[in-house]
Structures are given as C-alpha cells and as structure tokens.
C-alpha cells in the first residue's frame, strides 16, 4: 500500500487510450471514444472481483458512502451508527444527507463493538455502518445478526480494506451495500475515485441515477434522459477510471506483496513482552495494508511511536492524537460547525459528543500503533525495518520496567 508505488506500463496504456480518444467523460460521446468505456469496464471488473451483482463508480470514497446511503433512502433525522475510530468522511457522508451519525466505542478489532452498537439502536436507527479500519474488518457476523433482528441495513465502509475477506466473502460484499475508496494512498488507486457495490436492484438503480444529477440513463441520447428524482454530480472521469482499471488487475499482486512484508514485520514483534497484535475476527482475512498492535499502556505506545520515528521507521501512526481519524479532536462535528444552516432533524438528534464516555475506545486506541506496509520495499529493507522495530520496542519496554 499504496498502489501508486508500482505505477507502470499497464496504467500508462489505459490512460493513453483515453487521451487518444479525447473523451474524458464517462457518459456520452459514443462515436468519438473509439469503443473505450473505462468506467464501465472498471465497474464490471469490480463486480466480478467482489462477487457482487452491481458496482457504481463515483468520484471518491466519500461520494460512495453518500450515494450508498442516499440509494437506500437514508435522509434527514435517520440515525446511522458508526465507530469512534474512522475517517471523517464517514460522518461527513451522513451529515450531507441530514442524517445523524451515532458514534459507538471500538473494541480490540479497532472497529465498532457490537455490544455498544446494540445499546445505541433506537426507533430512528436505519443503518449500521462498520468501518474496516487499517485493512481489517469488524465483527460482521454479530453486526449482521443485529441488522436482521432490528430490520436495519448493513453498510460496509471498506475504503481502507479492499481485498480483505470475511467468511469467504470479499469485504464490502457481506452487507447490503459496500463502499471503497480509490484515492491516491489506497491499496489500489484511481488518483481520486470510489465505488459502491450491492446485490439490490433498487439500490443499484438509485445509485446510478443519483450520482449523475438524477439522469435515468435510458437510451443513448443523454439530452433526452428523464430525471425520476433529484441527484447530484458524483461522477468519476474516464482518466481516473482508466488508472483504476489497470490497478484492479494488479490487486492480487499487491495483496501478496503486502502479506509477505506484513508477515516479516509481525514475526519480529508478536512475541515480544508487552506486545499484543490487533484482533482479526474468526474467518476474517485482512488485506495486510497495516500492522496494528497494542502496547501495555498509553505511555509505552507514545514512547515506542516516538522512538520508531527517531530510528528511521517511517509510516508509523499513533491514531489517538490524529485529527482526522479519532473522535477526540472532532470539535467541528461535536459543535456542528457548518458553512450553511443544517437540518433541524440533525441538530436535534445529534448527541452531545463533548459528554460522551469514550473510555473504552481510549483504552484501545491510546495503546495502538499502526505501521503502514509498503509495496516498494526490497527484502533487505523489510528485514532492516523488522529489526529496528523489534529493537525499539525492547528498548522502550526495558526503560519503562526500570
């Protein structure tokens, strides 16, 4: 991770097809594009790879979440349950529709705790949205059972975990809807882009129309399209889709490299005193984009994170202090700071997150370090990194023991 590390001839060839035709838009201009429909081809490739009936390409992972929610008729005042550890796009997509993000604690999977999810369900809850952070999944079996019991939708935010699987199904395909991000630092990239997948005919039709100003896409004359409902512009360009079309063909290649590098790093630290590897649910296979582990306490985690940077181990993240990924610094959400007036249903429904007890999430994230797994490392670089990581952890734990 990320896929841009290994850009090559395949990506250039796909992009050149688009440039030579001169048609950069995914719709229309049939005669000029020389038979090249990169977005359509990529949607078919995503559907095949994910085992889903439908895929809809959009302009970003954030767009994918927004369109997925809209396609399922989520709107003002509806509650969507998400974890306290995620990316800000998760709640941005919910708020964009006037719905209410309900945040719940994480557990040792670094994803939402099903016990906390069940406690958060109300008569206004419409969606449970697990976020498969740092390459691994939530406890999907338990969450699916809650959805079935309470007649809720399961929407998987798999933007950070493409290529992982649960119970033999690709992440994103286990729920009613699944979303991916193809931004510049994801396992496979379009530069900017995203996609949603589903097996539901209605959601797929809604997503197709909503992501393109409500166009019904019937016939070949775009100007003659009708508009069954309001929509917005979440389209991807043919140039971005062309990059993604090359990259998805390489997904298994990238996953194999990530797993190899991840395994070397993990084996160097997993048996060290004080180290606990992040829990992957039974029947789950992560995509190996991050190695995440817990130290015994916050002081140890801070010390190890600081020392890793000093010792030349880059790409290490201490999420507990991160502005984008943890509730602790989301004052713009807590105070609903907006450029325009927000729906009253959202203002009335949003809990007072300044008062939320996040001690359970703090317990796990305050002890967590995540190490990015790169594709471009040589074998020697991986071995050197593994040794520096192990030596650093041992030095910090020894200092704290004295």
Mean pLDDT of 325-354: 97
Q: Please write the tens of the pLDDT for every residue from 359-388.
A: 999 999 999 999 999 999 999 999 999 999
As a dihedral over the C-alpha atoms of residue 297, residue 300, residue 306, residue 309, rounded to 10 degrees, the angle is -100
CA distance 352 to 20: 54
44 is catalytic: no
Q: Where are the domains of the chain?
A: 3-251, 252-401
Burial label, 319 (beta-carbon count in 10 A; 0-12, 13-18, 19+): buried
With contact defined as beta carbons under 8 Å apart, do 112 and 143 qualify? Answer: yes
Mean pLDDT value across the chain: 97
Q: Please write the tens of the pLDDT for every residue from 124-181.
A: 999 999 999 999 999 999 999 999 999 999 999 999 999 999 999 999 999 999 999 9
pLDDT of residue 179: 98
With contact defined as beta carbons under 8 Å apart, do 182 and 61 qualify? Answer: yes
* Fold: same for 3-251 and 252-401: no
**Fold held by 252-401:** 3.90.1150
pLDDT of residue 213 exceeding 90: yes
pLDDT band at residue 26 under the 50/70/90 scheme: very high
Write out the DSSP string of 167-210. Answer: TTEETTSSSSEEEEE-BTTSSS--BS-EEEEES-HHHHHHHHHH
CA distance 132 to 124: 24
pLDDT of residue 59 exceeding 80: yes
- Pairing status of strand 79-83 against strand 125-128: parallel
pLDDT band at residue 3 under the 50/70/90 scheme: confident
Active-site residue identified among 186, 307, 328, 374:
186
**Fold held by 3-251:** 3.40.640
pLDDT of residue 243 exceeding 90: yes
């Amino acid at each position: 991770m990320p896929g841009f590390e290994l850009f090559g001839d395949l990506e250039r060839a796909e992009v050149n097809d688009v440039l030579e035709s001169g048609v950069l838009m995914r719709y229309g201009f049939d005669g000029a594009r020389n038979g090249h429909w990169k977005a359509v081809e990529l949607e078919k490739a995503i559907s095949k790879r994910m085992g889903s009936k439908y895929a809809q390409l959009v302009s970003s992972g954030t767009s994918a979440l927004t369109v997925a929610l809209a396609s399922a008729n989520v709107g003002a005042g509806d509650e969507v349950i998400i974890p306290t550890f995620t990316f800000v796009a998760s709640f941005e997509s919910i708020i964009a529709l006037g719905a209410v993000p309900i945040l719940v604690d994480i557990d040792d999977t670094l994803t939402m705790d099903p016990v906390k999810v069940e406690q958060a369900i109300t008569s206004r809850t419409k969606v449970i949205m697990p976020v498969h952070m740092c390459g691994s999944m939530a406890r999907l079996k338990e969450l699916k059972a809650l959805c079935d019991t309470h007649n809720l939708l399961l929407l998987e935010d798999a933007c950070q975990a493409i290529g992982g699987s649960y119970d033999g199904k690709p992440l994103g395909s286990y729920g009613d809807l699944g979303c991916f991000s193809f931004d510049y630092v994801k396992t496979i990239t379009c530069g900017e882009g995203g996609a949603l997948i589903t097996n539901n005919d209605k959601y797929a039709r809604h997503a197709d129309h909503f992501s393109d100003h409500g166009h019904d896409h019937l016939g070949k004359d775009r100007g003659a399209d009708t508009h069954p409902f309001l929509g917005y512009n979440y389209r991807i360009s043919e140039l971005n889709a062309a990059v993604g079309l090359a990259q998805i063909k390489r997904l298994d290649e990238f996953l194999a490299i990530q797993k190899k590098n991840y395994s070397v790093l993990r084996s160097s630290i997993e048996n060290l005193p004080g180290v606990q590897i992040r829990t992957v649910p039974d029947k789950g296979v992560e995509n190996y984009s991050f190695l995440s582990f817990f130290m015994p306490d916050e002081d140890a985690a801070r010390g190890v994170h600081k020392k890793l940077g000093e010792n030349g181990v880059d790409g290490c993240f201490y999420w507990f202090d991160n502005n984008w990924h943890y509730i602790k610094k989301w004052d713009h959400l807590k105070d609903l700071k907006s450029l325009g007036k927000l729906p009253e249903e959202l203002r009335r429904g949003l809990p007072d997150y300044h008062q939320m007890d996040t001690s359970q999430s703090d317990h796990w994230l305050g002890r967590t370090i995540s190490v990015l797994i790169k594709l471009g490392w040589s074998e020697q670089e991986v071995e050197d990194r593994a040794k520096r990581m192990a030596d650093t952890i041992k030095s910090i734990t020894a200092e704290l023991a004295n």
